[in-house]
Chains A and B, each alone.
Chain A
Amino acid sequence: MRLGPFILRRLAISIFVLFGLSVLIFLIARVVPGDPARMALGPRAPVDVVERLRQQMYLDKPLLQQYGLWLRDVVAHGNLGDSLLTRRPVKQDIREFFPATLELVGLTAIFIIIAGISLGVISARYANTWVDKVVRLFSYLGIVTPAFAWAVILMLLFCFVWHLFPSYGRLTEGVMPPVTITGMYTIDSLLNGRLDLFWDAVVHLILPAIALALPPMSQAARLTRSSMADNQNKDYIASMIAYGVPNRVVTGKYLLKPSLISPITVMALDIAATFGYAFMVEKVFGFPGLARYGIQVMLNKDVNAIVGVVMVLGVVFITLNIVVDIIVAYLDPRIRLLGRSI
């Protein structure tokens, strides 16, 4: 099938998956030992206050009805309820914290894609020479060190041993953020024409982004390299070489394109996973992002917020999956035309 119907099909499946996810997380959040209302108000709040809150949150109704009410709120009004922790609409919390994490993951993704593929190609091009060995060693260390370990190491080195980077927050203390358009300081400061703010925001992002990017980048490099090594022996490469097509063209074009298919798929998974690991790096660097917020609401059994956060993340991941599927379908016509790759 052509690209159009392919995308539609993916979208339809995704909506189904999103739905299933909402049911799953709703169930989990509700079927929980402990009373969210009680937890929010504290052990000393009077019983009738707690009871009123429970009614407000529909906690006294049957489960199915709760879900239906919640669904109606979300779909019809875009209302995700109020957070018990911050006493604000969850939507507002998300709007404040999500762009920060999005920025962070965005920069991380850029690092992963550029560095991962480049290193992989270099490693394959100079296979079995010292260049390759160095890159492979480095990739290995990258993979086995989790992001938060890198965060600790990088912070020690670049903030305290060599005072090169700040270790806290999104901007230097006391600096006013740019006028909010997207919520992402980097983009907003560019849109505002404030290069100094842009630089400040970037400098605060670099270390956390590197820490998050190192494991997936190394994985991508390895995968690219092995993919290229596998395809190197295929007949179609030998054929190109036999016809005298120069090595740089063969490698850069005919070897690279089919070899990118599996690294890109894995990179997408890793970028999605980065949202999860981001919380640890956010904690280490004191970065006020969605991940940190997410953890806090989870620890406090803030059910509305939990569901809100998970759903937002769910949408992000599904979008990411679709984007990757599209990229892969572009790269590999077999998938686009046949729906499979053999």
Chain B
Amino acid sequence: MSETLLDIKNLHVWFKVYGGVLKVLNGVNFNVKFGEKVGLVGEAGCGKTTTMKALLRVLPNLALIPEGDIFVRGKNILKLNSRELADLRGRGLSMIFQDPTSALNPVFTIGQQLYDIIKYSAGSSGQKVANKKNVALSALHEARLPDPERMLDSYPIQLSGGMRQRVCIASAIATARDLLIADEPTTNLDVTIQDQVLRLIGDLVEKKGASLILITHSLGLAREITERVYVMYAGNMIEMAATSLLFKKPFHPYTQGLLASVPRLSGGGFAEGIPGRIPDYRNPPPGCRFEPRCQYAFEPCSKAMPPYIDVGDGHQVACYLYQNGQEDRKNA
């Protein structure tokens, strides 16, 4: 337990909207150890960002958490008040967002924002961090940004997308945290920049010995960087395994479909997609949420959400196909 940095247990998150309630997260289980690099893969709308927002406790007002716990370093953060929370965050967490334009406050300079982040990085007491400017400059330098001095006085609007993202990474560098959450860090960037940014993130994590949660819908990305991967679908983690294992032998029909749908450069033929759509969160399927689209669906699938089944080597699947161990594969 002392090895575990983050442990999300059975998290449910609902949104109150017109016509009912969106039951977005349906009992999410997710954990990260110290120094571990974990990937979170899933298509758009499956609940990845919601999980992270819940973790940061920045969910919008219309969200509620009817069930579940989130433990950070052993403390249940859903039960903390705002000062304790700020303390914890100050010492624990950094996050890189998908859209670097909206992640930086447009009316303040880079320097102003960095100084405040650095200032409060030692906890909410905001004790004097010697030489904020040097820390900021060296972080900007490490993030391979040109002319760090001038950068401090610039506004986000004056920078390109790639540069803004690197500024966000610089914030992470400057504060030496235990956990870095990168939410689709390269999605909005040019292909040429993507690689550099990824490399930066990787270096950062290695050097600081921090844990990484990489959220992405790109399988290739996850494969490159992470040690362990969670696959998420419609508000549930449906499969989890060490990266190499997952890509070699995916068990869950959804994961298999995902991997099959990646087009290959060689070998010819079209990639297959997965028929159907993600469910309506107002009226989700009562059992396994993938059941309506699954070609292997059978009797228990529509009754209740399948539990996690260990199929060996720490590889877990939430699927009734494997309820009797590895033997009970598809009936096809």
Q: Do A and B come from one complex?
A: yes
Q: Is B60 interfacial (CB 8 A cutoff)?
A: yes
Choice from B88, B94, B105 contacting A236 with Cβ under 8 Å: B105
Whose C-beta in chain B lies nearest to the C-beta of A341? B106
A216-237 to B contact mask, C-beta < 8 Å, 1/0: 0000000000000000011111
B103–A235 CB distance below 8 A: yes
Q: Is A20 interfacial (CB 8 A cutoff)?
A: no
Name A310-342 residues within 8 Å CB distance of B.
331-334, 337-338
State the Cβ distance, A194 to closest chain B Cβ, in Å. Answer: 44
Which one of B7-15, B20-28, B113-121, B212-220 contacts A? B113-121
Which B residues are CB-close (under 8 A) to A247?
82, 86
Given contacts A235-B99, A235-B102, A236-B105, contact A242 B89 (CB under 8 A): yes
Choice from A236, A243, A332 contacting B175 with Cβ under 8 Å: A243
Measured in the bound complex, the distance between the Cα atoms of B126 and A331 in whole Å is 26
A233–B90 CB distance below 8 A: no
Given contacts A244-B86, A244-B121, contact A338 B157 (CB under 8 A): yes
Q: Is B290 interfacial (CB 8 A cutoff)?
A: no
Which A residues are CB-close (under 8 A) to B99?
235
Given contacts A233-B60, A234-B102, A332-B106, contact A246 B120 (CB under 8 A): yes
A333–B58 CB distance below 8 A: no
Name B273-316 residues within 8 Å CB distance of A.
none
Measured in the bound complex, the distance between the Cα atoms of B108 and A128 in whole Å is 29
Measured in the bound complex, the distance between the Cα atoms of B154 and A337 in whole Å is 11
Q: Is A239 interfacial (CB 8 A cutoff)?
A: yes
Q: Is A245 interfacial (CB 8 A cutoff)?
A: yes
A234-275 to B contact mask, C-beta < 8 Å, 1/0: 111111111111110100011001100000000000000000
State the Cβ distance, A184 to closest chain B Cβ, in Å. Answer: 35
A236–B103 CB distance below 8 A: yes
Which A residues are CB-close (under 8 A) to B225?
none
B56–A242 CB distance below 8 A: yes
Which A residues are CB-close (under 8 A) to B105?
236-237, 240, 254, 257-258
B106–A240 CB distance below 8 A: no
Which B residues are CB-close (under 8 A) to A239?
95, 97, 103-104, 168, 171
Which A residues are CB-close (under 8 A) to B60?
233
Which B residues are CB-close (under 8 A) to A233?
60
B171–A243 CB distance below 8 A: yes
A333–B155 CB distance below 8 A: yes
Given contacts A244-B93, A244-B120, contact A333 B87 (CB under 8 A): no
Choice from A237, A241, A333 contacting B157 with Cβ under 8 Å: A333
State the Cβ distance, B215 to closest chain A Cβ, in Å. Answer: 14
Which A residues are CB-close (under 8 A) to B97?
235, 238-239
A238–B56 CB distance below 8 A: yes
Measured in the bound complex, the distance between the Cα atoms of B88 and A241 in whole Å is 11
Of residues A239, A241, A331, A338, which shows the largest number of chain B Cβ atoms within 10 Å of its Cβ? A239
A246–B126 CB distance below 8 A: yes
A337–B102 CB distance below 8 A: no
A246–B124 CB distance below 8 A: yes
Q: Is B158 interfacial (CB 8 A cutoff)?
A: yes
Measured in the bound complex, the distance between the Cα atoms of B120 and A331 in whole Å is 24
Which A residues are CB-close (under 8 A) to B102?
234-236
Which B residues are CB-close (under 8 A) to A236?
102-106
Which A residues are CB-close (under 8 A) to B168?
239
Given contacts A235-B97, A235-B99, A333-B157, contact A244 B91 (CB under 8 A): yes
Q: Is B107 interfacial (CB 8 A cutoff)?
A: yes
Given contacts A238-B56, A245-B117, contact A333 B123 (CB under 8 A): no
Q: Is B331 interfacial (CB 8 A cutoff)?
A: no
Q: Is B53 interfacial (CB 8 A cutoff)?
A: yes
Measured in the bound complex, the distance between the Cα atoms of B165 and A60 in whole Å is 71
Which B residues are CB-close (under 8 A) to A253?
116
A334–B116 CB distance below 8 A: no
A244–B124 CB distance below 8 A: yes
Q: Is B134 interfacial (CB 8 A cutoff)?
A: no
Which B residues are CB-close (under 8 A) to A244?
86-93, 120-121, 123-124
Whose C-beta in chain B lies nearest to the C-beta of A333? B155
Measured in the bound complex, the distance between the Cα atoms of B105 and A331 in whole Å is 12
B56–A240 CB distance below 8 A: no
Which B residues are CB-close (under 8 A) to A246?
83, 86, 120, 124, 126
Q: Is B266 interfacial (CB 8 A cutoff)?
A: no
State the Cβ distance, B140 to closest chain A Cβ, in Å. Answer: 16
Choice from B56, B94, B106 contacting A334 with Cβ under 8 Å: B106
Seed contacts A236-B105, A241-B56; 8 additional CB < 8 Å A-B pairs: A236-B102, A239-B97, A239-B168, A243-B89, A243-B117, A244-B91, A257-B108, A337-B155
Closest 7 interchain pairs by CB? A244-B90, A244-B89, A236-B105, A235-B102, A238-B58, A333-B155, A242-B95
What are 15 A-B pairs with beta-carbon distances under 8 A? A236-B106, A239-B97, A239-B171, A240-B105, A242-B95, A243-B117, A243-B175, A244-B86, A244-B88, A257-B105, A257-B108, A258-B105, A334-B106, A334-B157, A337-B155
B interface residues with partner A (beta carbon < 8 Å)? 53, 56, 58, 60-61, 82-83, 86-95, 97, 99, 102-108, 113, 116-117, 120-121, 123-124, 126, 155, 157-158, 168, 171, 175, 181
